[in-house]
Structure formats: structure tokens, C-alpha cells
Amino acid sequence: MRKRTNYENDLRRQAGNPPTTVAMLMGPRARILGIPQQINLLLRGPAASVAGFMKLWSQYFIPTLKESPADAEIASHKLLVRAGLVRKLGGGLYTYLPLGLRVLQKLSQICREEMERGGAIELWMPHVHPAELWEQGPRWAAAREIMFRADSAGSGKGRSKEPEFVLGPTHEEVITPLVKAEITSYRDLPKNFFQIATKFRNEIRPRYGLMRAKEFVMMDAYSFDVDDAASVRSYLAMKAAYESFFRRVGAQAIAVEADTGVMGGSFSHEFMVPAEVGDDDVIYNEESGYAANREKATSALVPPDLKDAAPAGAIEEFATPGVVTIAALEAPPHSVPADQQFKTLVYIGDGKPFLVILRGCDELEEAKLGSLGFTLRRPATAEEIEPVLGAKPGSLGAVKGTIRNPDALAGVFADHGIRLVGNGVTGANKDGFHLRNVNVVRDLAITAFGDFRRVRPGEPDPKSGQPLKVRRGIEVGHIFKLGTKYSEKYGAVYTDDQKQSHPMIMGCYGIGISRTLQAVIEQSHDADGIVWPWSVAPFQVLVCVLDPQLPEAMELARKIGTAAESAGADVLIDDRAERPGVKFKDADLIGIPLRVTIGGKGLKEGIVELKPRRQKEPVKIPIGDVERQLAEAVARASQA
């Protein structure tokens, strides 16, 4: 049995040092009396609250600030620091202070409960991974660019050219070999494993606090199934678990169709929390229910029954000296509208150049190039372009017979939108010249059509035809149906009832726990500070003692705190020798959902004040009735 703190002994004395009974072990007094948490959990069952008894602010550590840090750009980042939740160590690196840690623990516990309810099994995997495991996998070339290497820091060993170990951003390369070694029969499937752990990403431009950090806490899960139908069931079970998690933590997250990116797989969904300072756009239509992130969004701009335009005449070359942009070609004397121009972009995919053709008025959505199958891709340089096409950027095109070295190309890929042009203007692959009357079918050397353009608000929704809308959002979760991309690479196969071997069908799932912490603040704050949802608040009841030097005030504070704990709340007592204004400002800043204020004047009048954080004015309650009303308020908040 651990040694009791002075505060625990003080609480025992206030309670008259009652004998320890089984009934006490069943409730919050187990924490007050110092009963080990393991015993308490065995008796009470799992809970989402943070273990511990009520805290005194004067003995705790909540370093609030009046001013925001200079590098904090958005409200949630400012409040994270001002409310004493985190402190910056370096770019993208943060220490979680006690309040921040309590929120992180509550988020993690709620996530754990929902994962287990969805059938997932918790484990723990190393953060340090042998690089050779990644080299065997399908995404090493692309993923290594955002990974940290973990070499020896000793002065006696030189830095090798290639890393021996890396820090894991995700764990597909670890879990798949593990399952390969341990599961071989269909009888042992399906399985879904998850962990809640620290991840690492070599973020070049860390910003927005925990939103874009180099080190972050994430739940990552991995499902293994015998066939596609079973894999879809696992996917939908995780999607439901995500929806329940975000609902419980008070985050208004919506699931949107998303690009699979470097993870690969057949389809995926992002969970986005709408916010004006989000890091991505959500394209949506409320009536049809369509929602996708910017990288995945499509529209019905090109009608499915659109007929290709017939040639309008012979191709004509015309001089355009100094015209090297879409806007310049729009201007007099040429006056060619952007929607009648063909834009030709040159990229390098796995070492070979390829072309992408768009309407002049459209922007490329680069993530959509992932559908072309290149492992690595980047924009080509001017030095790489001229030997292949024969001209510098600004005079480029894809008309048959004008490309200097067509055999060097990996392909010419056109967006479906260029079919709306029909006959347009493009570069002649000859500096200072363009071509008019270029017909899509007759003249362009197109390998394949695809969806490569960025969707704009107002375009027709692919489901209903109604105008699409756009708003910003913060990505807090992602789910992927991976298929056999990883199981085939690592040989994770099972034997069916006919003794035939098949690769396991995989899915992977991630929730940014630390990112969700900040997203909740971004979505739930006001001019005075954070407004925590009840389920994840670091403390749920704040007992604010305006005259802590009065023994009767502190005695009542402990009595009210004990009643709140008995009702299921985590309690903080503000016993600091500070002015009321300071206490009230701090209370609003840290955002505790319920505040009970005890003052010397109120004691004489026989009242205390109860104020929900979202409510402007407090309610006066007779001292004799405060325990009952507080318990009812806690019960209502807990069930909301």
C-alpha cells in the first residue's frame, strides 16, 4: 500500500476517519482513501475518467498565461498554451502539462472503449523499426521522405548512408510480418489489432501547435480478413466505431471520401472536423449527402452523354512572342478564353516524364495523379522538359507530331474536362508559337483520360446535380481498405478449408488523438477561453473558493467536491490566494464545464453560485441544497 499524501489524510480527518468498507471501495472514496487503482478498477469496472482524487489548484500545476505566444496563429493553438495544457520544446514538439495530459488520457480511454466495442484487440508495437522491414514493403521510396532515421548518436560511429533504423509514422510494416508469423488458418480470422501510441513524422513546416507536429499520439488499427466481403464488414465496423468516438468526445466530425495516397488501397474515408482554419477543404452537398475531401472530390461538370466535338477546321500555327501563361493568351491581341485553351503540364513519374492535359481554366489536383500508379512523382524542371518536348514551358502541347521525343514519355493523360473544349488552342512545342483549331479526338496524342482537375464550388454534385459547396476542415481520422497491397509483399497468407492459400485482405485505421484534442478546442471555444465537452474536460467541476483563508469555506469546498465525485465528476478546488477576477478569468480560460463559487458573503447568506461554462450568469443555490442540485447537474451533463 502506498503512503498517503497529506491531502488524503486531511480528507480522512474531514470525513471523521470512517472505517474502510467494501461500500467505500466501490465509489470515489477509494481514490480519497488511497486504495490502489487496480483494486478500484476491479470493483468498479472500466471508466473513461482519469484516476485520482480531487485536486487543490495551489498544489497542482496549471501555468496559465495572459498573452498568447507569438508563434501561435490560430485560436486553438493560443488556448493550448494560455490554458496551461502544453509547452513548446521545439518546432513541432510539445510537452503535455498536467491538464493537457488528462485530456489526452480521456480521449485515449474513450477511443480504446470504442475500438474494443468494435471488435479490435489492443497490443503495443515498437516505435523504432528496422529499415529493412520497410525496404521489403510497398512504400519505402515514398514514405522515407517523411520519416526520421534512428542512428547511433555516439561520436565513435560514422553516419551510414542508409538508415539502419527508422521511427514509425504508422505500423503496417510491423504488424503484417507479425500476423504472417502467427496466423496461418482461416479459422483464426478475422482479426483486428490496435494500439494507442506515439508516432513520428518529419514535418518540414510544423505549425498550428498539435495540428502539424513532428511527434503525435495516434490510434492505429489493422484488420485482416479472408475475403473482400469480410474486409468491408471490418471497414464498416471501424467506421461505426469512429462515429461513436467522435460523438462521445464532442467533436462534430463528418466522414468524407478521400484519396488513399501513399497508403494505397481501393478506397478510404477521412473524418473531418469543420473549422475555418482547417488544413483541408471538404466538398459537399447537404441535400444529396455527398462529401469528399479536396483531393478526392469529383463533380458532374462533364455530362456522361457528352458527344465529342467534330473538328472545326485545319490546325493553324500562330506567333505568340512572349506569351507563356494562360492569362497572357487571354489578353489582347489573342483574346483566347482560358476555357478554350489546353494546359500541358510535365511531371516525372518513377524517373520518366509524362504529360497531363487540363483546360486552361482548371487547376491540377496533384493527389489525383496517384491513380496513374507511379511510386514517386514530381513536377519536371525546365531542363528536363525541353529535350523531350522541344520547347520551354509556356509553349508546350501534346499535338501528334509536334513532340520531339515521344518515346521518352511514360504517357499523355488528359482530364475529362478537356472534352468540353472540343476545339481549342495549345502550345506548338515551338518557343513563341501556339496552335488553334486543335481537336481533342483528332489531334491530341492521349494515352488515357482520367479525373485530374480540382473541383470548384458551384459545380454540379455528382449525385444530385445541385451546386457543390466547400468549407474548411481538420482531418482527425482516416480509414483505408488496403486490399492485398501489404499482405502480398510480406507473404501474409492463410489456408482455407480446401487447403488453398490466399493473401489476407487488410484494412488500416487511424485516429489522431493529440490532433483531436486541439480540434475539440478549435470547435469549442469562445472569447474567454476553452469550452470543454463534459466527456474530455480535464476536470468537470471547479469549486472556486474566494476566501480560502476561512476554514468553513474550505470545509464546504471539500464537502461539495466529495459530492461531485460521488456523482461521477472529476473535481478541482481553486484554493489560491488570488483576487476573484483572476480566478474567474482562469476558470473561463481552462474551460471546466461546471463552476461552483463559494464566497464569504455567500456563506453568511447561506448560498453558493452554480455556473455552467456555457452560461453567462450563475444560479444562486441554498447551501443545504447544493449537493443535490450539483449531483443532478453532473448526472445531466454525463448523459448528454
The pLDDT-based confidence of 158 (bands split at 50, 70, 90) is low
| pLDDT above 70 (res 513) | yes
Confidence of residue 266 (pLDDT cuts 50, 70, 90): low
Grid cell 469555506 — which residue?
553
Instruction: Give Cα 256 distance to the centre of its chain.
Output: 12
CATH of 316-450, one of 3.30.230.80, 3.90.960.10, 3.20.20.150, 3.30.540.10: 3.90.960.10
Classify 295 as helix, strand or coil.
Answer: coil
Amino acid 277: pLDDT: 79
Contact 102, 139 (CB under 8 A): no
Cα(613)–Cα(454) distance, integer angstroms = 42
**Confidence band, pLDDT 50/70/90 cuts, at residue 36:** very low
Question: Would you state the pLDDT for residue 440?
Answer: 96
Q: Which three cell numbers stand for residue 159?
A: 553516419
Please compute the mean of the pLDDT values over residues 345-349 and round it to a whole number.
97
* DSSP letter assigned to residue 619: E
Burial class (CB in 10 A: 0-12, 13-18, 19+), 23: exposed
Residue 51 has pLDDT above 90, yes or no: no
3-state helix, strand, coil in the chain (%, to 5): 35, 25, 40
Q: How confident is the model at residue 73, as a pLDDT?
A: 87
pLDDT digits (tens, 9 = 90+) for 189-206: 999 999 999 999 998 888
Confidence (pLDDT) at 156: 65
| 589 Cβ neighbours under 8 A, 6+ residues apart | 64, 79, 82, 83, 528, 529, 530
Check: CB of residue 292 under 8 Å from CB of residue 471. no
Correct CATH for 89-299+469-521 of 3.30.470.10, 3.40.1190.20, 3.40.50.300, 3.30.930.10: 3.30.930.10
Contact (CB, 8 A) for 591 and 530: yes
Helix (H, G, I), strand (E, B) or coil at 450: strand
Mean pLDDT of 572-580: 97
Residues constituting the chain: 640
Closest to 573 (Cα-Cα) out of 585, 589, 559, 591: 559
Q: Given this model, what pLDDT does residue 52 score?
A: 61
Tell whether omega for the bond before 138 is within 30 degrees of 0, i.e. cis.
no
SS3 call for 303:
coil
pLDDT at 265: 52
Rounded CA-CA distance 343/301 in Å is 18
pLDDT band at 160 (very low <50, low <70, confident <90, very high): confident
Please state the φ and ψ torsions of residue 192, each to the nearest 5 degrees.
-140, 115
**Alpha-carbon distance 467 to 456, whole Å?**
10
Are residues 495 and 186 in contact, defined by beta-carbon separation less than 8 angstroms?
yes
Asked if pLDDT for residue 263 goes beyond 70, the answer is no
| Whole-number pLDDT of residue 50 | 57
Q: Where are the domains of the chain?
A: 6-55+529-639, 89-299+469-521, 316-450
Q: Is pLDDT above 60 for 586?
A: yes
Short-list 52, 60, 14, CA closest to 576: 60
With a cut of 50, say whether residue 392 has pLDDT above it.
yes
Contacts (Cβ under 8 Å, ≥6 apart) of 51: 31, 37, 40
Query: Across residues 128-155, what is the average pLDDT?
Result: 91
Question: Is the confidence at residue 41, as pLDDT, over 90?
Answer: no
Q: CA-based angle 335:333:343, to the nearest 5?
A: 45
DSSP letter string over 356-387?
EEEETT--B-GGGGGGG--SSEEEPPHHHHHH
Max intra-chain CA distance, the chain = 101
User: To which H or E segment does residue 514 belong?
Assistant: helix 513-523
Q: What is the pLDDT of residue 499?
A: 95
Instruction: Using alpha carbons, select from 160, 173, 171, 98 the residue that is nearest to residue 134.
Output: 173
Q: Across residues 225-249, what is the average pLDDT? A: 96
Domain 6-55+529-639, CATH number (from 1.10.490.10, 3.40.190.10, 3.40.50.620, 3.40.50.800)? 3.40.50.800
- Specify whether the CB–CB gap between 434 and 333 falls below 8 A: no
Residue 554 to residues 475, 546, 548, Cα–Cα distance (Å): 44, 10, 6
Tens-place pLDDT, residues 323-333: 999 999 999 99
Q: Which residues contact 442 (CB under 8 A, 6 or more apart)?
A: 311
Which of 252, 275, 293, 283 has its CA nearest to residue 74?
275
